[in-house]
Each structure stands twice: as C-alpha cells, then as structure tokens.
A and B are shown apart, each in its own frame.
Chain A
Amino acid sequence: MQAIEALFPAHNYTLLAFIVLLPLLGAAVNGVFGKRLGKEAVSLLALSVMGIAFALAVVTFFALGHAQEGDEAARFFWKGWEWFRLTRSDGSSIMLNVGFSVDALNGTMALVVTGVGFLIHLYSVSYMAEDPGFHRFLTYLNLFIFSMLVLILGDSLPVLFVGWEGVGLCSYLLIGFWFDDDKNAAAGKKAFVTNRIGDFGLLVAMGLLLYFCGGLDWSTLDSNARGLLTPLQVWPLGTHVPAASLLPQGAEAWLNTPRYVSAATLVGLALFLGCAGKSAQLPLYVWLPDAMAGPTPVSALIHAATMVTAGVYLLCRLSFVMVLSPAAMATVAVTGALTAMFAASIAFAQQDIKKVLAYSTVSQLGYMFLGVGVGAFTAGFFHVITHAFFKACMFLGAGSVIHAMHARIHDTDASQDMRNMGGLRKYMPITFWTFTAAWAAIVGFPLTSGFFSKDEILLRAYTSFIKTPMKTLSDGGGGTMEVFSWPPWLGTALYAIGIVTALMTAFYMTRLYIGTFFGEFRGWKIVKNWKEPEHAHGHDDHGHHHHDPSVPLEGPVPHESPWQMWVPLAVLGFLAAFAGWLNAPLFHIETMHHWLEPVFEKASHSVELIEGAEHLEFVFLGAAIAAFLGGTGAAYFIYVMQKGKPAQSFAEAMPGLHALVVDKWRIDEIYEEYVIGAVDSLAEFFAWADKWIVDFLLARVTAFLVSTSGTVLRFLQTGRVQTYAAVMVVGLGVVGWFFVTPRAEAKVDANDESGVYSLTAAEGLGYSYRWDLNNDGKWDGDKGDFGDKTQQSLNLAVKENRTVRLEVKNAFGRTAVRTFNFERPAPDRSGLTSRLDGDTAPVRRAADLRQAPKPQEVK
C-alpha cells in the first residue's frame, strides 16, 4: 500500500488515466484492426483491457480505503490538462480542466462498472461468437466502458458531460447493433432523441451553476453552492405580460405578479431533467423498453447495470446542490415513486422476457430516485450497486435462456416470448439457480441484497425529509420568495407507493420466474438425439425460419450455456444474494454507510428524520416481508396452483384494461399523437412556409416582377432613333423648367444665448434678393429694390417673436418668397448652474425654431 501511495500520490494519481484510457485503447485497436485480428485476438484484447482496468479499480478502491481512515473524505486527483478558459463579465476567468478524480462514491461505482463490465465482456465473447459483427460489438462495448468511466471519474461537469454523451452514443450504436432491421435502428434513434431532451436540462443546469457558483468542478461547486440560494424572477419574462391588459383587472394583476424561484430549484430541476432522460424516469422512460432491441449483454450492461444509473450517480455527486432545494428534491422523490409504480404496472402483462426486465429496470430506477429524493443518498446508491448485480444477472440469465431457445426458434420476438419457455429448470440448472438468486434479491427475499437496499429506501422514504434551508430568500433587490417546505403527508404517500410497488414487483417477477423455469417446456417437442435437418443456424443470425404452424416443432433438449456465459452468471448471482451484507443496518452492519459518509457529509446536514424513526425499523421490516410474501404468494397461487386461470379470467372480465396494460398504457401512442404530432405539424408549417413564402413569394414572385417589368420596359426600347431623341427632348424641357424656376432658401444659424440669429440665402444663377427683417410688411431698402445682399442677422430679446421674409428674383425675372419664424426661448437655468460648476459642458437647448410651410409664391 505504501508503494502505491508513493508511486501515485493523491494529488497526481496517474493510475486514473490508465483506468480510463485502457478501454479506449481496446476500442481503438479493435475498431481499426478488429476484422484482420480475428475473433481470438479481439476477445483477448477486449477482455484483458477490461481485466486490467478492473484490477486497477480494485487497487484504487483499497488505496482510497487506506487513505480514508479518519472522517476526512479521501480524494485522488489526476489533473489532466487545461481544456478551455471562460472569461466572466467582471474580467475574472474560469479554467476548465480535463481532469479526473476519485473518491468513495465514484471509486465504488468504477468498481461496479469495470467489474460487471468485465463479466459481461466475458459473457459476450461466447454469446456473440457466431455474429459477423463480433469485433464491432466488442469495440462498442470497450468504447462504452471508456465513456462510462469518463462520466463517473470526471472531476467536473463538462468532463462528465463528455462521458454522458459518449455513453449515449454507445447506447445508440449498441441498441441498433443489428441495424438491418428497421425496428432496431428506430429504437436506437428513439433512445438517442429522448436522451437529448434530458441533455438539454443538463446543459441548462451547467450554465446556471457556472453563473451562480463560478465554476464547474466538484470542489468549486461544493464551496460555492450556497450562491444558489438566490431568488430568480421567472415570471413575467419581461416587465409585464404582453396583452394582459386586455383581461379583467384582477386577472391582469394576477398575471403580472412577479414570481420567484430559487436558483437552487431551477438547477435541481434542470439536473433532474437530465437524469430523468438518462435514467429513464417519467416522462422520458419510453426509450428504455425499446432499447431491448439490442443484444442481451448490452441490455445487461448498459440498460440495467451501468449507464441508466448515471442519473442516480449525478444526483448523488451533486447532493450538496440538490438538498438546497426541497422542491427539487420532492420532485425527484415523487417522480421516482410514480415511475416505480407505473413501470411495475406495465410489467404485469408483458410476455417478452426482456420487456418485463426492462420495465422492472425502470421501476427499480424509480426506487433509486425515490431514495435519493428523500435524502437517503447512501440507500439510493446502495440500490444502484445491488441492482447492478441482480439485474445484470437476470438479463444475462435471460440471455442464456434466449441463447438456448435459439437452437430451434430463430425469430427474435418468439425466442424471447415466455409462452415458448417453461420448465427450463431441469435443462439449465446453473442459469436457473443464478436466476433464482437474482429473483430472490429483486422480490425482497429476506437477507438478500435487494431486501436490504430496497427496504432501506422504503424506510427512509417514510422517515426522512429535506429541511428548508431558510424561510424566505431575498436577492437584496426587492425580490423575495418563500421556500417550499416538505409537507408532512409526503413521506407517508411515498412510502405507500413504494410498498405497493414492492408487492407488484414480487408478483410480476415471480410470474416471470415461474413462466420461464417451471411447468412444461412449450418451445418445441423435445426429441432426444435430434439433428438439424438441413442447414445449420448460428445464434442471433436472424435468418427468419418460418415454420409450418400445423406441424409441431421438434428440437433437441435445451442446453446449458458454455462456461464463458455461466461463470459471469454465477459471480453475479452470488453477489446478488450476498452483497446486501455490505450495508445491513438491521444487523448494525453499516460498512457502505460509513464508507460513503464523507461524500454525503455536507448534504446530510439538510436531511432530517421524523421523530421516533428508529422505532419504525421492525414495523417496516414486517411490511416489507409481507409485501414479498403477498406478491410471490399471489403469483404462485395464480400461475402454479391455478395454472394462470385467474389471470385469464381477469383479462376476459376487463378486456379494455387488459389491452391497455399490454399496450403499455399507450404512452408511446400519446407521445406519437401529441409530441411527435406537434413536431410534425411544426415541420409541416415550415415546409409550407418554405414552399409558399421562400420559394413562391420570395423567389417566384420576385422573378415574376423582374420579368414583367422587363417585358414592359422592352416596349420602350424600340430601337428607333426618333423615340430616344424625343425622350431626350422631353428631359431637356424638364431640366430647363427646373433652371428657370427661382427658389428662396436660407441657412439659419441660431444662437439662443446671445439672441443673434443670422440667415444666409442660398445662391443661384442670376439671383437678386430683398429682405423684410423687421416684419413691417414692407421690403427693406430705400425703394424695396432687389439687391445682392445674401447675409442678414438680427438680435432678439428673450421670448421675442419675429417673422422674417426673403424674396429672390432670377435672371428671367421670376420671383419666390419664403417666411422664417424665430422665437428666443428663456435661458436654461440648469444649464447655467452646470456651467458655473464647470464640470460639464453647457447644455444647449434645441432652438424652438419653426419653419413656416413653404409658400412658394412664384410670380
């Protein structure tokens, strides 16, 4: 341990770079040379980079444990390099590094990612062995692990975001791995687009955090998080609502009342939107069930164990930000609880084994968010880990079953349909027993991992709540707001939803378990020593082998999977059964809690427990065991003792409801109709605008106008000399007329302060002038003759009015008259004082100079 600490000091922990970059190396080499290297070399490389990364993660984990002897949070950094620099409006700059750091939280997460990742790589080597895209698959898996490690080990939000987008990309690539099928490609696209909606929230949150906290790395955010306790006016957007004055007065006042939201709530909600996208929460969960179109190891790794828990990880990582807003936390908890229940209800009626597991994953993610939302970060994160074990085990078990089904059933949907399974317990003992362990964990069989983690979440859902940071917030500039406080009934409601969901989970999981492994095998008629009649089929090769339905399908005894597939199953099954002992507060084992305590130390100040919480532990334990017994008992009664008859009669009694649940509450159809429909109509509108405004109005009408005017003007271009000459003669006449008309114009120079106004008459060919300055109605001069005086000036007293007339005569004897009005305004006092102070330039008032309308008297 000393050697490691000496080699890799905490402030320059370069081992992190190796952990992150090894999978990238594997992806790069396999991606470029994979086809030429051959399957053995590709799998060796992919597995060894994962193995080494896992080993390094273990070393890091223990080094962290060694460093975290006291209460201090240990954190190892690898600074990386400067990425970019932002300049703020006050001139200071914010530097963002490509840096990585590891502490108890992401050290544990890295262990799960690399560990489960390694097992699933091992499984994939066998599961995908026959696939022509083998090297491509392992490349994507390695790339995914790289992105996931960037996500969890990144030391700042932008680095996390790179990983966040990276896992989204890998998820897209792997969901659409068999892209020749349109359905798979569409599922990948759906996952990507839905995630982009969430990413928008994450970007907004980053912008707000940058603004309010002045940085995006964890330590800056940690120390400046209280800057978020500022009210922000979110309504009205300007100074008032436009057109609100048309409404009655009461409504107008109500609309125009400024409304405030604390910056912490905005950040919390924006972060949660991002997390809801990535972790498939309401209303953005729709992509995850479709993501099952990818190969089963992908479902296990990305869509159960690691990527979808990134949202929970992010909320845990920014727990100190989240707890500043009880409203955002309540949103997280309520959304989590509702998602858990909603997804569980859909899982009731699904026949596809992977679909059931997918909805179960959404439901379990809901539990994690429930835990995080009520401030039980350790419990939520602990569920991430146990869920990674038992759900990965279940998915891999399902993959093993599908693998066996592919011996005779090659259609993707049919091979995953539970109605074709049954009785596999006898043929696939290892898969059966590992699946049993995972099943026990998820239904909450006492003392399994899921039992401990789920019950901790349920207990905390009832007992803990988020303290309001202060009663009111003020931004110091008149904006104040009241802070949302956690209503007392919320805990009870959350717990009720949670426990009902636990009951439902036990029921549908037992239904799946019984349907797959018990009863009689329904896939085909088992014939001993059966041989493939014509051509051999590989696994997952999707050559749709249509069978005559009237002849019963015959096939061999379903076989157990090879060791590369059952070893990961065994390891994960073991962990699913026993990982709960990492944190079993019931038996006063709180290893996990103590391990993560320093990470959540700051956030835990904002979380409180209701009174008497410690006495509730055993009551809740009873309720949880009752939920487990009730759910499994009901499923056993319906599907084993009654052979599924009550379920059938229920479906017949309420066909509408049953069809609705089978169709997943038709949420996809609602989205199709309203969200996608709205986007489509927007697109149609723009297409219309493009066609009729851009193409028609701007392009064709303009072209038409030009060509029309050309056609008209062409008639003027007769080519006849006489026509042109006639136009010239007319033009000459117009110019001549202009020259023989006199114009009386004068430039006025006004000085209000001295009272001197001077006029300069405009000159012209052969012009002579006469003036009437004193406004007596007579022209100045002896006889009122025209002279050559072009300049005149006059003095005016304050507030005196004067009208001046000017007449000009040109060489042809034609005349024109013009009248000017002057008024000298009163001196400007404020201008005077400022002039006396001498610090500002004198303020000059615009002269109140009005020019009379032109009486162009032409004589």
Chain B
Amino acid sequence: MNSLGYFVEQYVMLAGALFTLGCVGFLVRRNVLVQLMSIELMLNAVNLMLVAFNRQHLNDLNGQVFAFFIIAVAAAEVAVGLAIVLAFYRLKSSVQSDEADQLRH
C-alpha cells in the first residue's frame, strides 16, 4: 500500500487475468468474432495497467493519455477487423478462422 492507500498489485493481477483470458480466448476459439473480442479484452487489460501505473506518478498523465490513444486505435481496428470478417463471411459463408486458407492452397 502506498501513501494514497491504494494497492497497485491488485490492478496488475486483474489486468494479468484479463490479458490471459483474452490470450487464451484468442488461441483456442475459431470464431473470428470471438477472437476480435478477445483482442479487445487484451487491449483493455493493457489500458488498465497504463492507468493503474500512471496513478503512481501524480504530475504525469502520459499513461492515461496513452490509454485514450489505445481506445481510439482499438475502435479503428475493430472497424477494419469487422469489415474483414464481413468480407470473409461473404467469401466462405463462415466466420471460422481456420477456413481462411486461400493463400495456402
């Protein structure tokens, strides 16, 4: 506990759990939509870390500003990602990522 009565370790653990959840979700699920959601989960875990650590530097808001950037970029990424998913669905009538094999064959 620091002088503000606040445990950074708890946030780190929460963010680690979220990140692991997103990572495992990305690795084990084949549904592209779920994978996109997992990516969002990992990005938000990172955002949480940035904000939590930034609380330790009272005169410095870089971490929080960075979190906003990430939210904006993540929104753009979701827009592009969903567009790809739509195009993919039109092509294959499926949203399973292991069916994206046209470059291989």
A721 to B30, CA, bound (A): 9
User: Smallest Cβ distance from A713 to chain B, in angstroms?
Assistant: 14
A722 adjacent to B101 (CB under 8 Å)? no
B44 within 8 A of A: no
- The interface residues of chain B lying within 8 Å CB-to-CB of A719 are 100-101, 103-104
B35 adjacent to A721 (CB under 8 Å)? yes
- The interface residues of chain B lying within 8 Å CB-to-CB of A725 are 23, 26-27
- The interface residues of chain B lying within 8 Å CB-to-CB of A676 are none
B4 within 8 A of A: no
Partner of A722, one of B97, B103, B104: B97
User: Smallest Cβ distance from A720 to chain B, in angstroms?
Assistant: 6
A726 to B27, CA, bound (A): 7
A740 within 8 A of B: no
B98 within 8 A of A: yes
Proximity string of chain B (78-105) to chain A, C-beta cutoff 8 Å, 1 when within and 0 when not: 0000000000000000000110110110
- The interface residues of chain B lying within 8 Å CB-to-CB of A832 are none
Question: Which residues between 162 and 220 of chain A lie within 8 Å of chain B, taking CB atoms?
Answer: none
B58 within 8 A of A: no
A722 adjacent to B100 (CB under 8 Å)? no
- The interface residues of chain B lying within 8 Å CB-to-CB of A726 are 27
Q: In this complex, what residue of B is CB-closest to A729? A: B23
- The interface residues of chain A lying within 8 Å CB-to-CB of B103 are 719
Question: Which residues between 19 and 52 of chain B lie within 8 Å of chain A, taking CB atoms?
Answer: 23, 26-28, 30, 35
Q: In this complex, what residue of B is CB-closest to A723? A: B27
- The interface residues of chain B lying within 8 Å CB-to-CB of A721 are 35, 97, 100
B98 adjacent to A720 (CB under 8 Å)? yes
Q: In this complex, what residue of A is CB-closest to B29? A: A722
Partner of B28, one of A717, A718, A722: A722
A718 to B105, CA, bound (A): 11
- The interface residues of chain A lying within 8 Å CB-to-CB of B35 are 721
- The interface residues of chain A lying within 8 Å CB-to-CB of B23 are 725, 729
Q: In this complex, what residue of A is CB-closest to B101? A: A719
Q: In this complex, what residue of A is CB-closest to B104? A: A719
A444 to B66, CA, bound (A): 119
User: Smallest Cβ distance from A105 to chain B, in angstroms?
Assistant: 87
Name A's interface SS: helix
A717 to B105, CA, bound (A): 12
Proximity string of chain A (693-722) to chain B, C-beta cutoff 8 Å, 1 when within and 0 when not: 000000000000000000000000111111
A718 to B100, CA, bound (A): 11
- The interface residues of chain B lying within 8 Å CB-to-CB of A722 are 26-28, 30, 97-98
User: Smallest Cβ distance from A710 to chain B, in angstroms?
Assistant: 15
User: Smallest Cβ distance from A777 to chain B, in angstroms?
Assistant: 36
A719 to B103, CA, bound (A): 8
Q: In this complex, what residue of B is CB-closest to A732? A: B23
A726 to B26, CA, bound (A): 9
A722 to B103, CA, bound (A): 16
A717 to B104, CA, bound (A): 9
Q: In this complex, what residue of B is CB-closest to A714? A: B104
Question: Which residues between 715 and 749 of chain A lie within 8 Å of chain B, taking CB atoms?
Answer: 717-722, 725-726, 729
- The interface residues of chain A lying within 8 Å CB-to-CB of B100 are 719, 721
- The interface residues of chain B lying within 8 Å CB-to-CB of A720 are 97-98
User: Smallest Cβ distance from A730 to chain B, in angstroms?
Assistant: 11
User: Smallest Cβ distance from A397 to chain B, in angstroms?
Assistant: 89
- The interface residues of chain A lying within 8 Å CB-to-CB of B28 are 722
User: Smallest Cβ distance from B96 to chain A, in angstroms?
Assistant: 11
A717 to B103, CA, bound (A): 11
User: Smallest Cβ distance from A678 to chain B, in angstroms?
Assistant: 59
- The interface residues of chain B lying within 8 Å CB-to-CB of A718 are 104
- The interface residues of chain B lying within 8 Å CB-to-CB of A729 are 23, 27
Proximity string of chain B (1-27) to chain A, C-beta cutoff 8 Å, 1 when within and 0 when not: 000000000000000000000010011
User: Smallest Cβ distance from B103 to chain A, in angstroms?
Assistant: 7
A718 to B97, CA, bound (A): 12
A725 to B103, CA, bound (A): 18
User: Smallest Cβ distance from B58 to chain A, in angstroms?
Assistant: 21
Q: In this complex, what residue of B is CB-closest to A721? A: B97
A729 to B23, CA, bound (A): 8
Q: In this complex, what residue of A is CB-closest to B97? A: A721
User: Smallest Cβ distance from B94 to chain A, in angstroms?
Assistant: 14
- The interface residues of chain A lying within 8 Å CB-to-CB of B30 are 722
User: Smallest Cβ distance from B27 to chain A, in angstroms?
Assistant: 5
Q: In this complex, what residue of B is CB-closest to A719? A: B104
User: Smallest Cβ distance from B32 to chain A, in angstroms?
Assistant: 9
- The interface residues of chain A lying within 8 Å CB-to-CB of B101 are 719
User: Smallest Cβ distance from B22 to chain A, in angstroms?
Assistant: 11
User: Smallest Cβ distance from A451 to chain B, in angstroms?
Assistant: 99
- The interface residues of chain A lying within 8 Å CB-to-CB of B98 are 720, 722
Q: In this complex, what residue of B is CB-closest to A717? A: B104
- The interface residues of chain B lying within 8 Å CB-to-CB of A717 are 104
User: Smallest Cβ distance from A468 to chain B, in angstroms?
Assistant: 89
Question: Which residues between 428 and 467 of chain A lie within 8 Å of chain B, taking CB atoms?
Answer: none
Q: In this complex, what residue of A is CB-closest to B103? A: A719
User: Smallest Cβ distance from B23 to chain A, in angstroms?
Assistant: 6
User: Smallest Cβ distance from B43 to chain A, in angstroms?
Assistant: 14
Proximity string of chain A (483-499) to chain B, C-beta cutoff 8 Å, 1 when within and 0 when not: 00000000000000000
User: Smallest Cβ distance from B63 to chain A, in angstroms?
Assistant: 18
- Across the A-B interface, the 7 shortest Cβ-Cβ residue pairs: A719-B104, A719-B101, A722-B27, A721-B97, A720-B98, A726-B27, A725-B27
Q: List 23 A-B contacts (CB under 8 A).
A: A717-B104, A718-B104, A719-B100, A719-B101, A719-B103, A719-B104, A720-B97, A720-B98, A721-B35, A721-B97, A721-B100, A722-B26, A722-B27, A722-B28, A722-B30, A722-B97, A722-B98, A725-B23, A725-B26, A725-B27, A726-B27, A729-B23, A729-B27
Given A717-B104, A722-B30, A729-B23, 15 other A-B residues pairs in contact with their CB atoms under 8 A: A719-B100, A719-B101, A719-B103, A720-B97, A720-B98, A721-B35, A721-B97, A721-B100, A722-B26, A722-B27, A722-B28, A722-B97, A722-B98, A725-B27, A729-B27
